[in-house]
Chains A and B, each alone.
Chain A
Amino acid sequence: MNRYIIAIAIAVGFTACGRFGNKDEKQDQEERIVSVSKQHNEIIYALGAEKDIVAVDISSTYPPEIKELPTVGYHRALSLEGLLAAKPTMIIHDGPASIGPDHVVRQLEQLNIPVKEFATKGNTIDSTKLLIREMGAYFGKEQQADSLCNILDADMETALENAKKYPDTPKVLVIHYGQAMNVYLVVTKKNTAAKMIEWAGGTMAVDDPKAMKQLSAEVVAKSDPDVILLTDFGYDRLNGSQEKIKELPGVSSTKAFRNNRIYRVEEHDLIYLGPRTGKNVLELQKIIHADEPV
């Protein structure tokens, strides 16, 4: 009997590691916001409104200090008691498609937990600025919101000007590791990342009705990209070694691989828009036009 009690005890011990073990440092606060949207969280931190945030979802990774907050799990696989253990006075999310499972949403309604969804969806530069302003008004940080929007505008202007100077529009393949399904995915023209690449003066190599598509040798060979970007988790999983990246289906036959043009990008710099988008586009330009004279 003792043997498996010990086994269970060891398993319990493991969970003390990682972000799940973060302590709540804001126990005495009255205003307690749990925000489960990575885009909103980045804006909240940029606005300097993070004081009331007591917990976030595990996919929120920017800015780095956000990782010190307790987490409530993944935003589409929340647990009701887990959420409520953070004693939220408000839960912020970015729409019914990104909060779940459904029954947890219903339970929140049933218990009358205040939930906030901002009306604006930041999926273009203009709507992102609107979202920043809306959130600025909500948190009483209108001035910061204005200055964030101005910086974003200025950066975007520089970036778009820059993009015109590059003679080529390299084909870019973005490979993203889908942690939910343990498969490598390619990001398509339907994704926010495609806009970023375009602004940076490149073009997305793969088109598909879905925003992401499973990585296969055919897809990669057909697109024959000039540059391959691997998002952080997938890149780190392969330790960034050329040998292992080569083994991904189709990758070894691409121009990008022959010319040694495979790079790591942070997922949170590419997959949604926010106050840093202009700067991220500038960074992307440096990467995808690395071999071109300006």
Chain B
Amino acid sequence: MSRFNKRYTGIYPLLLVLLIGITLCSIRYGAVQISVKEMFSGLNHWFSSPASMSLNERIFMEIRFPRAVLCVLVGASLAVGGALMQSLFRNPIVEPGLVGTSSGAAFGASLYFVLGSIFNFSTGEWTLPLAACAGGILATFLVFILSESRQPGRNSVVALLLTGIAINALFISGVGFMSYMARDPQARSITFWTLGTLSGANWHSVMITGFTSVVCILLALRYTKHLNALMIGEEEAQFMGVRIKRLKLIVLLINLVMVAVATAFTGVISFIGLIVPHLLRIMAGSDNRYLVIGSALMGGILLSLADLIARLLLQPAELPIGIVTAVVGVPVFIILLRNRNYYF
């Protein structure tokens, strides 16, 4: 076992250094010029005398810093979710939104945008994340319930996959219907949200996402061996003592919580969950323990990088991050796939 793990000893430090480097960059650069001195004094004032902070110090402490942290957390959540789902379904095209979570969340959010302005209910800081989270959970449970089969011996994972695709299509058409109904400002909000943005980050969202992502990733690590067994085949895993149904439920719940919370605060961010596990497999194989730890690090790296580009490219305006992850992620992914002899 120790020899097995040695392959990764070089990769973890590399990813960690990259993660720290890119996080420092995303703290350092932005549309507003903030000097390193102001950063340190901002950090100092935050704890000693919050009332006396200058504007730049507050921009740093209340806007940019939480955003950089949220980036890392959301990236990690999505990438780990992707790794878990790909292993569970033993299918390379799966991404964390597959069981309906992100399209449900998008539907919840667009419902909020359209109905919110019709009925004019109070639009506090939490209404949108709650609506999105509720939509994500609703869609995922629909997938769960509809994919349950009474017939014994049916391949439940395939049923789940197909039900997920169907429910996704349903909720995406729901989003489409909502943006058709919407007036111009609402439609713009929906478009903006379905492409994702981290510009709403604050310490509340960081704390909530931080809590769920850390707990879920630690929990996921406990089940990586079972997932490894599942890679051989569903029946084989059962012979090895894995309780498939329970494993399926737990992994799906972990994924649901991570993705629903991350999506609630940032909108739908595509491709991170799909690409990161593949990149890691290309680098050093498909042991699930390595994939989960690696995804947590690399998801943070890639999303921070994408966010940095989203913020700096059209300065002072900002691109939705989903565009950046797709435009940068897809070509990189295809180049890598073509360059190596890569097997799932």
Binding site for B on A (CB under 8 A): 3-4, 7-8, 11-12, 15, 20, 55, 58, 70-74, 76-86, 97-98, 100-104, 106-107, 110-111, 178, 180-181, 210-212, 214
- Do residues B309 and A85 form an inter-chain contact, with CB atoms below 8 A? no
A70 to B317, CA, bound (A): 11
Q: Chain A: which residue is nearest B123 at the CB level?
A: A102
B64 at the interface (CB under 8 A from A): yes
Asked if A80 and B335 make an inter-chain contact with CB atoms under 8 angstroms apart, the answer reads no
A106 vs B125: C-alpha distance in the bound complex, in angstroms?
8
Binding site for A on B (CB under 8 A): 30-33, 55, 58-59, 62-64, 123, 125, 128, 179-180, 183-185, 187-189, 191-192, 197, 199-200, 202, 309, 311-318, 327-328, 331-332, 335
Given contacts A76-B185, A111-B62, contact A81 B309 (CB under 8 A): no
* Cα of A37 to Cα of B189 in the assembled complex, Å: 18
In the assembled complex, which residues on chain B have CB atoms less than 8 Å from the CB atom of A4?
328, 331-332, 335
Asked if A72 and B185 make an inter-chain contact with CB atoms under 8 angstroms apart, the answer reads no
* A74→B317 contact, CB < 8 A: yes
> Shortest CB–CB separation between residue B331 and chain A, in angstroms?
6
Q: Is B59's CB under 8 angstroms from A111's CB?
A: yes
Residues of B within 8 A of A211 (CB): 183
| A180 pairs with B188, CB closer than 8 A | yes
A98 to B184, CA, bound (A): 10
Q: B335's contact among A3, A97, A102, by CB below 8 Å, is which?
A: A3
Q: How far is the CA of A178 from the CA of B309 in the complex (A)?
A: 27
Nearest residue, chain A, Cβ from B331: A4
CA distance A85 to B314 in the complex (A): 13
- Which of A81, A97, A100, A180 has the most CB atoms of chain B within a 10 A radius of its CB? A81
Q: How far is the CB of A94 from chain B (nearest CB, A)?
A: 13
Q: How far is it, in angstroms, between the C-alpha of A95 and the C-alpha of B55 when the chains are bound?
A: 24
Whether the pair B32, A81 counts as a contact (CB closer than 8 A) is yes
Q: In the bound complex, what is the Cα–Cα distance between A102 and B186 (angstroms)?
A: 11
User: Are A85 and B31 in touch, CB under 8 angstroms?
Assistant: yes
CB pair B318–A82 under 8 Å, yes or no, is yes
B309 near A8: Cβ-Cβ < 8 Å: yes
Known interface pairs A8-B309, A111-B63; 9 further A-B residue pairs with C-beta atoms within 8 A, sorted by A's residue number: A4-B335, A20-B314, A72-B317, A73-B316, A73-B318, A82-B31, A84-B32, A100-B185, A180-B188
B327 — which chain A residues lie within 8 A by C-beta? Answer: 11
Beyond A8-B328, A20-B315, A100-B185, whether A81 also contacts B200 by CB under 8 A is no
Q: Which of B58, B123, B187 contacts A180 (CB 8 A)?
A: B187
Nearest B residue (CB) for A58: B317
> What are the nearest 5 A-B pairs in CB distance?
A73-B317, A82-B316, A103-B200, A79-B318, A85-B31
The answer, among A3, A8, A81, A210, for a CB contact under 8 Å with B59, is A81
Q: Is the CB of A101 within 8 A of B192?
A: yes
- B32: contacting residue among A55, A85, A100, A181, CB under 8 A: A85
Compute how far the CA of A7 lies from the CA of B315 in the bound complex, rounded to whole angstroms: 18
Tell whether A82 pairs with B188 under 8 Å between CB atoms, given A4-B331, A106-B125, A107-B63. Answer: no
Once bound together, how far apart are the Cα atoms of A212 and B332, in whole Å? 41
A84 touches B59 (CB 8 A): yes
C-alpha gap A7/B183 in the complex (Å): 37
Closest chain B residue to A106, Cβ basis? B125
Question: A111 near B316 (CB under 8 angstroms)?
Answer: no
Within 8 Å by CB of B31, from A15, A58, A84, A100, lies A84
Cα distance A181–B180 in the bound complex, in angstroms: 10
Whether B316 pairs with A7 at a CB distance below 8 angstroms is: no
Q: Which chain B positions have C-beta within 8 A of A58?
A: 317
User: For the complex, what is the distance from the CA of A100 to the CA of B180, rounded to whole Å?
Assistant: 20
Name B317's contact: one of A11, A82, A84, A111 (CB within 8 Å).
A82
**Chain A's nearest CB lies how many Å from the CB of B176?**
11
26 residue pairs of the A-B complex, CB under 8 angstroms, read A3-B335, A8-B328, A15-B313, A20-B314, A20-B316, A55-B316, A70-B316, A71-B316, A73-B314, A73-B316, A74-B317, A77-B192, A77-B317, A77-B318, A81-B31, A81-B32, A81-B311, A82-B315, A85-B32, A98-B185, A100-B189, A104-B199, A107-B63, A107-B200, A107-B202, A180-B187
Decide if B199 touches A103 in the complex (CB within 8 Å). yes
The closest CB in chain A to the CB of B181 belongs to: A210
Quick check: A81 and B63 within 8 Å, CB to CB? yes
Q: Chain A contacts of B189 at CB under 8 A?
A: 76, 100-101
Chain B residues, CB < 8 A from A78: 317
A114 → chain B closest CB, angstroms:
11
CB contacts (< 8 Å) of B128 on chain A: these are: 102
Q: Closest approach, in angstroms, between the C-beta of A229 and any C-beta of chain B?
A: 18
Q: Which residues of B contact A98 (CB under 8 A)?
A: 185
With A and B bound together, what is the CA distance between A212 and B314 in angstroms? 29
CB A234 to nearest CB in B, in angstroms, measures 14
B183–A181 CB distance below 8 A: no
CA distance A170 to B229 in the complex (A): 76
Q: B55 to A111, Cβ gap below 8 A?
A: yes
- Which single member of A3, A70, A79, A210 contacts B199 (CB below 8 Å)? A79
Bound complex: CA A73 to CA B331 (Å): 28
A98 and B199 alpha carbons, distance in the complex (Å): 18
